[in-house]
Structure 1
Amino acid sequence: MSNSVQRFSYSYLPHRYIDRTSFERLLILIATLIQHPGVGSRQPLEHTPNRTHHNALTPLQSQIRQVAKSLGISYPDRYPSIGTLRKDLETLRNYGILDHRKYRWGYYLGTGVMNRDELKVAFNALHSQAMYQGDPQIRKIYYTLEKRLRGLELDGNTDISYPVRAYMNRPIIQTDPEVMAEKGTTRHTLFHCLDRIEDAIATGQLIELYRLREPYHNNIGYLQIYPLQLFYHDIAWYLLYETASNPNLYQPDEIQHLEVERLDRLKNYCKILHSPGRGQNAQFESLKLAQKLFKTGWGINLGTPEEQYNERKNQESFERITVRFFPPCTQFIREGECRHNNQKITSKKDQDGQEYIDYSIKLPRRSLPEFCRWVYRHIGCSQFISPPELVEKHQNAIQAAANRYSALHCNKVQ
């Protein structure tokens, strides 16, 4: 029998959804997956007996019954059965509505993994990253999603697109190539290559970049690196990466120098040196190490290769720093109880009863410059107590500022 005859004959065979009850049950299953994405997943507080696996079909069965009841359809007890649900889910797989894979964390259709409340929070996060942090790719996604959500607003859900939450830190640099072109201020930076950078991060590809400028050491030129993460910090977007000492051979047990570079200081040049990549396991290992360095330090300076090596081997000495803060910033310092996991804040009073705060912390020496810059924000009401080198540095900075103001006053008088 030919294929055409087979298809013709098959199309006229009766199927399990030919009666109204079965057809409605399938539609209610689809409606349940749409309205309750993730249904069937284990709840955080749910306990199962030892050696008993969580059955995702049981909560799905319960939710289907509730959806049916809301539609005015009354089901008999224990209907639909677990066996029937398995067959219905297999039908959805056969028609491409569900994927041919295990849904260990609950069932959902396509990429519809959020309910409306979750979507509102995620949409707000997209809005902040698109508008305030200037992420060009997120901006395109945000505008596309905004158009698709207008139907929900017509249904009275006006709070879907309202930015209830926002993260308003703004970059001090140009980030969007399209906006640069419109303003005639194009900067040929790595922002033009974000697609390739993200692919390289996901697979652990070895790439070559070019540093245009480096204000601290004027270290410009080509870099051969494994990019680990794009992140936003304070005023700009940065690339966290791991240098490659031997671009032709990656050694999994050897972690090279971890560094951070601002995206606008890198040219719009990205050359793939090793396309298959080293894989996500190696990426995660390096990323976890970088996160540990961020946690123990202050800011985003990860230090020199020698400092990183000693810190990983617990051979790097940490500096105990104490800064005394006076009113009016004492309340601000006291509020930051989660500013750093190593900090200790002690409230005291002087002989006149005036309150002040001693802020004590242990940091690696690589973090001292960034910590000092934070203290200098409160230069009029802060005083280093220890170590002596920071006491002297702070005193010299204040004296230099006083000298400049004195010189300015003298010039005005003359």
Structure 2
Amino acid sequence: MSSSFAPLRSHFLIGPAGSGKSTFATRLVQANPALVVVSTDDIRQDLYGDATIQGLWAEVEQAVIVRVQAAIQSGRPVIYDATNIKRPWRMQLIEKFSSLGATSWLAWYLKTPLETCLYQNTQRDRQVPPQVIRRHFKELETFAPNPAEGFINVVTLGKTVQNQFVILPELPEIQQEIARLSTTIQRANRYAQQTRHGYSRLKDFERLLFLLALVLHHPGAGNLHETHPEQLHHLLGHTEFFLTAEEEIAALLSKLHHPLYADTAALTQDLQWLRENALLTTDVQDLQQPYKKLQQPPFTGEADVRTAHSYGDWEAFERLLTTLRYILYHPLGLEEGGALVALVQGLTKDGLHVHPDSVRRDIGEVLKPYDLLRGRMFKQGYYAGTAIFSREELQNIHAVLYSQAQSLKNPLDQAIYEQYTQKMQQAQIGEAPYPVRAIANRIIVPTSSEDLPSDSLYRNLEQLERYITTGTLLHLSLKQNVGTWPKDRKGLFSAWPLQIVFHNIAWYLGYEHKEDGLFRYGRLDRLFLAQPLPQPRGIDLQRRSLKRIDTLLKGSAFLFLGDDPRQQQLFLNTKTRSTVQVVVELWFTKALSQFIQEGTKRFTQQKLDFNTGNTRFPCRLVATLPIWSIEDIDLQRWILGYGDQVNVIQPQSLAEKIQHIIKSMRAL
């Protein structure tokens, strides 16, 4: 039997807990007693007295190295028995084993169904939590063992025989697999025909992809310790300062993936190549210039077919990275026929002729697993990381932010605009936008820190937004010595903040009174925060109340929602709404009829006709409004603005109010 194993030096077992690795190892030893089993479970038992205690991996790994080295020095092959679920774990161990002289490893991947692993786990004395097994299964499903990790070959165990799934092969089948090894080695010669490049080794290839994913999902990586130290602390779990961008990136890759990819010298070359090929810079006129081919990075060092992967050939690698670059510069850009068709058409137009099946494979096997394409393929297109807008779209957004920040004077909007402008300039996408659009309405109330006390809601917008999204109940008060209406509530009151709204001349807060459920809008510069109360009610109740205040706002003439919570509740109920509604009828002169006719969406429920029968006021506007709108000063101001060109027909109460205001003005 032992002669059957002569071509092999060692065996590397891979599989989730409960997949049958130890049983398979026993079967191999029965076939060849010369094999030495090095098991991490046995090592933990020896080190800590309990195989379930994970301990320190550095201690466990050192014991693994010692036992493998002892076996190799005695001329005996090894069976390394561990889950080995993560690819960088496997690659790093193979590198260390090779340095000991153990250069030939055959990987056995026990691709046992999840349900079987979970069941077999329950039959063991040492059980692993089910969620751990599920995590193992998911990791191996995403990054399955690959010969390019440094193996002679990977043999996947598990097949269906007579409608039953069989995990472990019998000894004759094991011998056949080993006998086919020479054929596998001969097949590997095809990699010798590859056009190699700087990322033909799997480790280098993965480092480049993880680097791209890092920069896509964490823009500014390399200088986060200066610009966003809190974000860096969240990612690393501690605070650290770095002298170079490469050091910070290496630390992030080490933390997020594995120290195997944290080679600062290699990362320096990676960053340079990505910049030169327009994958980490926007300073390229790719939309105007002819298609720019990727520069082929040189292959250095000795070739080893064991580390050659499917993208080790330049043609495949060029197609993959060019596809990613196109998606980065044309996110969600589509033509008819679907996302894949549009992508292939775009690549062809830029000079790269590809087959749809090849692009589909690139997306499924690389771009998605390495988190370079977030989510699934959308009918609307593909996008890479956070790159969801094209250059032109980013410039349009810049212009919109400019008009809002300059006109409405919202401190948060202004901060976002300044940050956005800085990043646009750093990325060399465009200069400060020409103000093609502007918002004529402008804020006329105090907004600066010199004009408002520190407890003004206007000066605590970021905190207020957090209270809104969590449903935090607030103790609020009205500012003293300001204009108020007769029914405005004085002193402290409790309310849930719902939404910040800009209306006419100022920013308002829509809120719900805790005492009686009254919905109301109050100007931010007039409201002050006394204190937040504990136990927020949550986003679901917030959404429900927001929907209610929005219904009241859309049904009303302007921002005023009345002072009676009972009337609001009747309006919110479609069955009783009519009991708190009033018909407002206004007649306008012929001169104003065109202007009135253009405002078809001024009120939610309105009708317009020219059948008044009155030659002076031929145009009639009929709107159904809540009864509180009759008291709305904005509605009264709107009517009065038309002077003698409008006549209030009904209701009588509104006509009398307008007449009273006119008489009072004449008496001045």
- Tell me the TM-score normalised to structure 1 length: 0.77
Inter-partner Cα distance in structure 1 for 2:393 and 2:339? 20
Instruction: Note the 1:266-285 alignment, pairs <5 A.
Output: 266-274=527-535, 277-285=536-544
Distance 1:174 1:106, change over 3 A: farther
Residue 132 of structure 1 deviates from its aligned partner by 0.4
Distance 1:145 1:242, change over 3 A: same
Query: CA offsets per residue over residues 18-40 of structure 1, 9 Å max, x none?
Result: 21122112212321321222368
Query: CA offsets per residue over residues 248-305 of structure 1, 9 Å max, x none?
Result: xxxxxxx93322111111125552422xx43333222221222211122111122221
Match of 2:593 among 330, 337, 358: 330
Inter-partner Cα distance in structure 1 for 2:94 and 2:667? 92
Q: Which residue of 2 aligns with 1:197?
A: 464
Matched to 2:652, the amino acid is: P
Q: Which residue of 2 aligns with 1:55?
A: none
Contact 1:208/1:273 (8 A) holds in 2: no
Residue 130 of structure 1 deviates from its aligned partner by 0.6
Inter-partner Cα distance in structure 1 for 2:411 and 2:346? 40
Partner SS for 1:273: coil
Residue 59 of structure 1 deviates from its aligned partner by 3.6
Contact 1:34/1:109 (8 A) holds in 2: yes
The alignment yields a C-alpha RMSD, in angstroms, of: 3.0
Residue 307 of structure 1 deviates from its aligned partner by 0.9
Match of 1:343 among 601, 606, 612: 606
Contact 1:297/1:364 (8 A) holds in 2: yes
Residue 102 of structure 1 deviates from its aligned partner by 4.4
Q: Which residue of 1 aligns with 2:268?
A: none
Task: Kindly indicate whether residue 647 of structure 2 is the aligned counterpart of residue 383 of structure 1.
Answer: yes
Question: Structure 1: which 4+ aligned runs deviate by more than 4 Å?
Answer: 1-5, 7-10, 101-106, 348-351
Residue 354 of structure 1 deviates from its aligned partner by 4.5
Matched to 2:547, the amino acid is: K
Task: Kindly indicate whether residue 571 of structure 2 is the aligned counterpart of residue 311 of structure 1.
Answer: yes
Q: Which ranges of structure 2 fall in alignment gaps of 5 or more residues?
A: 1-63, 66-88, 97-148, 150-202, 205-306
Match of 2:560 among 301, 309, 323: 301
Q: Which residue of 1 aligns with 2:314?
A: 20
Inter-partner Cα distance in structure 2 for 1:219 and 1:239? 15
Partner SS for 2:358: coil
Q: Which residue of 2 aligns with 1:89?
A: 367
Inter-partner Cα distance in structure 2 for 1:306 and 1:141? 41
Inter-partner Cα distance in structure 2 for 1:272 and 1:7? 57
Q: Which residue of 2 aligns with 1:173?
A: 445
Residue 91 of structure 1 deviates from its aligned partner by 4.2
Distance 1:102 1:203, change over 3 A: farther
Contact 1:133/1:168 (8 A) holds in 2: no
Contact 1:258/1:302 (8 A) holds in 2: yes
Inter-partner Cα distance in structure 1 for 2:612 and 2:468? 52
Inter-partner Cα distance in structure 2 for 1:91 and 1:310? 54
Partner SS for 1:299: coil
Match of 1:234 among 487, 491, 504: 504
Partner SS for 2:507: strand
Partner SS for 2:608: strand
Q: Which ranges of structure 1 fall in alignment gaps of 5 or more residues?
A: 47-57, 246-254, 405-414
Bigger RCO of structures 1 and 2 (CA < 8 A, at least 6 apart): 1
Task: Kindly indicate whether residue 342 of structure 2 is the aligned counterpart of residue 68 of structure 1.
Answer: no
Inter-partner Cα distance in structure 1 for 2:397 and 2:541? 29
Residue 162 of structure 1 deviates from its aligned partner by 2.1
Instruction: Note the 1:236-275 alignment, pairs <5 A.
Output: 236-245=506-515, 256-274=517-535
Residue 136 of structure 1 deviates from its aligned partner by 0.7
Inter-partner Cα distance in structure 2 for 1:273 and 1:80? 56
Distance 1:31 1:84, change over 3 A: closer
Matched to 1:319, the amino acid is: V
Instruction: Note the 1:98-137 alignment, pairs <5 A.
Output: 98-99=373-374, 101-102=375-376, 106-137=381-412
Q: Which has the larger radius of gyration?
A: 2
Distance 1:354 1:70, change over 3 A: same
Inter-partner Cα distance in structure 1 for 2:384 and 2:531? 36
Matched to 2:445, the amino acid is: I
Residue 356 of structure 1 deviates from its aligned partner by 3.6
